[in-house]
Amino acid sequence: MEILTYAFMQRALIAALIVGITAPAIGIYLVQRRQSLMGDGIGHVALTGVGLGFLINSSSAWAGPVWIATFVAIAGSVAMELIRWYGKTRGDLALAMLFYGGMAGGVMLMNLSDAGSNANLSTYLFGSITTVSAQDMTAICVLAALVLAITVGLRRQLFAVCQDEEFARVTGLPVRLLNLLIAVTAAVTVTVAMRVVGLLLVSALMVIPVAAAQQISRSFAVTFALAVAIGIGVTVTGTATSYYVDVPSGATIVLFAIAVFVLFTLLAAPLARKRARAAAGGADGCTLEVPGSRAPADDVRV
Amino acid sequence: MEETSPPRSDHPVIALRGATASLGSRPVLRGVDLTVRAGEVVALLGANGSGKSTAVRSVIGQVPLTGGDLTLFGTPLRRFKEWHRVGYVPQRTTAAGGVPATVREIVTSGRLARSRFGLPRRADREAVHHALELVGMADRAKDSATALSGGQHQRVLIARALAVEPELLIMDEPMAGVDLASQEVLASALREQVARGTTVLLVLHELGPLEPLIDRAVVLRDGCVVHDGPPPEAVGQHALPGHDHVHPHADDTAPATLGTGLLS
C-alpha cells in the first residue's frame, strides 16, 4: 500500500473519511424535511467567503479561506432559515437571489484579490483533495467533531423537528433553535467538504447516500447508518481511485455515489418482493370462496 | 415553580375569551369564546372556512391571536411550559416524511415532550407500545410509515399524541379520509382516553361515529360561535344511519374555502 506512505495522501484519505461521515449525517435531516437542495445553496454562499478569504489574504490560521468561508456560510444559512420563517410567500425567489449573489460575489472577490486566479477558484469549486494542508486538517477535524456531536447527539430531537415541525412545536421543543442548529451544522459541513468534493458537488454527498440508503431501508436509524456507510465507502474509494488513475477526486466520488444509488434501486424491487412474501407467510388463497350466485327468480315486472 | 395548577383544579383546561385572529388580511376569528373544563369532550363544528381549524391552532400557539386572551390549565399561553400535558393530532393525510421512518420511530417522537433532551427510559418505551396498542397498530411498529393506508396514517398520528399520556387531547379532523373500520378503532381508543378522564377538544366536519362520546358541541360560522351546547340533532334524512354528509355548504363558504385551503 504505497498510497499510505505519502503524507498528502494520508491527509487526503482522512479528510475524505471525515466528509463521508459528516455530509450524509446532516444531509439526512435536510432530505427528511424535503430541502435537499439547501446544501447547494449554502455552497454557493460559501464561495463568497472563499473570495473574501483570498481578498484579505491573511496568513494567520484563523483568517484563512476555510474559516472565512465557514463564517460566511453560517451567515448565509441563517439568512435562509430566517427567510423560511418570515417570507413564506416568495421564499423561493429570495433563496435564488442568495444563491446567485453568493456565486457572483465569490467570483468577483476572487478576481479582485492578488492571490486569486481561475485555477485557485476551481480548486474550491470542484475540490482538490491532495492539496489539503496540515493546517486545513486541524480545521476540518474540529468542525467535523462538532457536526457529528450535533447530528448523533440530538438525533431524536432533530428527527421530530424534520418529521413534523408543527407537531414538534406542540411538544415544547425549541423548534426555532433546532432549525437554526441544522442550518449552521449544514453550513459547517459544506465548508468541511469543500476541499474534498468542491462547493458545487458538496450537496451531492449530502443527498445521494441518503437517497441510496432509503431505497432499501424502512427505518430512520437504518437509513442513517447505511447513508454514513455509503458516504465513507464512496469517499475513500473515490479518493484512492483518483490517486491511481489521475482523475479529479470530487467528480469520482460523486459518480461512485450515483453508481451505488443505481445499484440499490435495482436491488430494491427484488428485496421488496421478498419482504412481501415473508409478510404474506403462506396466506395463499386469501380471496374468499364465493358461493354461486342465485338463479334469477322471475322476469322483471314493471 | 410558580403556581403549578393541580390536575383537577377549578381552572378550565382551555379558556379562550374574545379571541380574534386573521390570516393575511382576512379576519378568521371574530371574537370566539371557548371554555373546555377538565374531563369534557368538546367538538368544534362548522363548515369549511368557518375558523374551526384556526381556533384550534390558536389554542396551541400555532396561529397568533390578534386580540382576546387564552389560558391553558390556568396559565396564559405565553407562560405555558407544560406541553407534556397536551397531545396534539394535526390535520394531515400522511405521517411520513422525506426519509423512511418506522411507525415506532414516529410515535416515539411524541414522547419527547416528556423525555426532552434526556435518554429514553423504559417508561418511555412502554408508553409508546401502549399508545400503539390503543390504536391497534402494535403489530405494525417496525413497518415503514410509507407502507400504510390512509386510516393507518391517522392512527399513527393519534398514537403519537397519546404516547405522551396527555391530560388534554386536541385533534384536528381526526376522521378525515379514514375508512369505517379505522373510525371504529379510533372511536374506541378515544372512549378509553375519555374513561381515564382525559379532556378532549376535537375539530370535526360532522359528528359521525364519535357522537355518543361528545358532551358539548361548539359550532362556528364565519369566525363567530353560533351554537354552544349539546350536540345538534341531525334531522330528516341526515339522521339516517350510514348517511354520508357530502353536499357542499351553501353561499358563505366559497371565498372562505379559498382562504383556509392554503393554511389548513
Which domain does A188 fall in, by range? Answer: 2-203
A251 domain residue, yes or no: no
What is the domain count for chain A? 1
Q: Which of residues 17-46 of A touch B (CB under 8 A)?
A: 28, 31-34, 36
Q: What is the ipTM of this complex?
A: 0.83
Tell me if B71 is assigned to some domain.
Answer: yes
Q: At A68, is the pLDDT very low, low, confident or very high (cuts 50, 70, 90)?
A: confident
pLDDT digits (tens, 9 = 90+) for A140-162: 898 899 999 999 999 999 999 99
Q: Note down the domain range covering B118.
A: 14-229
- pLDDT higher for A24 or B240? A24
Q: Can you read off the three cell numbers belonging to residue B155?
A: 392512527
Confidence bin at B1 (pLDDT 50/70/90): very low
Q: Is residue A214 part of a domain?
A: no
pLDDT at A163 over 50: yes
What CATH number does residue B44 fall under? 3.40.50.300
Please, what is the average pLDDT of chain B? 82
Residue B234 confidence (pLDDT):
59
Quote the CA–CA distance of A223 and B82 in Å, as a whole number: 33
- Residues in A 151-180 with any Cβ partner in B closer than 8 A: 154, 156-157, 159-160, 162-164, 166-173
Overall number of domains in chain B: 1
| B106, B110, B120 member nearest A171 (Cβ) | B110
Does residue A182 form part of some domain? yes
B190 occurs within a structural domain: yes
**Pairwise CB contact (< 8 Å): A164 & B113:** no
Q: Is B264 a member of any domain?
A: no
Distance from CA of B89 to the nearest CA of A (A): 8
Domain membership of residue B245 (yes or no) is no
pLDDT band of B11, cuts 50, 70, 90? confident
CATH of the domain at A26: 1.10.3470.10
Which element (helix H / strand E) includes A47?
helix A38-56
Write down the mean pLDDT value for chain A.
85
Tell me, yes or no, whether B6 lies in a domain: no
Output the pLDDT for position B250: 44
Any domain includes B263: no
Residue A208 lies inside a defined structural domain of this protein: no
Q: How confident is the model at residue B27 (pLDDT cuts 50, 70, 90)?
A: confident
Which residues of A are less than 8 Å from B165 in CB distance? none
Q: What is the pLDDT of residues B124-147, one digit of tens each?
A: 999 999 999 998 899 999 999 988
What is the mean pLDDT of the segment spanning A258-273?
A: 91
